[in-house]
Amino acid sequence: MAVPHETLVSYQRRLKNDINTIAENFSELFRMVRIDLENKITYSKLEEISFEVNIRAANLTRACESLIKLIWEIKQYQTINDFPLINEAITNKVKDNVRHANDVDNILIALRDEITNDLYELEEEYYNSYVKYNI
């Protein structure tokens, strides 16, 4: 994997290239479709302009798709490499789990104490009863 600085420089270069391509093709599209009433346009010239407009539109679309892909890659890079946020989420989850474990331990200790007291009472009742002697 590339060094983060190299990755960011690559992203900046791609962004600049895509924006320049979009701007260039957009301005050329408008330059070509400008209506010039003074000059007659031949059918072959019209076909040439139509072909170039199609090519410029395709280039514009390709640059926009590349820009969308770049944005997706930047989001993915940010999500994957955002270690402070990931560490904070893990720390919070660990704290929640420890707190829950302590709560469960306290409940289990309380149950143990209650069962122990009940068992002592039952043993005392059993040993002091006539049932033990009659069996």
Q: In this predicted model, which residue has the larger pLDDT, 68 or 41?
A: 68
Predicted confidence at residue 57, as pLDDT, reads 93
- Type of residue numbered 19: I
Question: What does the DSSP assignment read for the chain?
Answer: ---HHHHHHHHHHHHHHHHHHHHHHHHHHHHHT---SSS---HHHHHHHHHHHHHHHHHHHHHHHHHHHHHHHHHHHHHHT-HHHHHHHHHHHHHHHHHHHHHHHHHHHHHHHHHHHHHHHHHHHHHTSSHHHH-
Alpha-carbon distance of 85 to 66, in angstroms, equals 28
In tens, the pLDDT along 97-120 reads 999 999 999 999 999 999 999 999
- Confidence band for 30, pLDDT divided at 50, 70 and 90: confident
pTM for the whole structure: 0.56
Alpha-carbon distance of 102 to 94, in angstroms, equals 12
pLDDT above 80 for 69 = yes
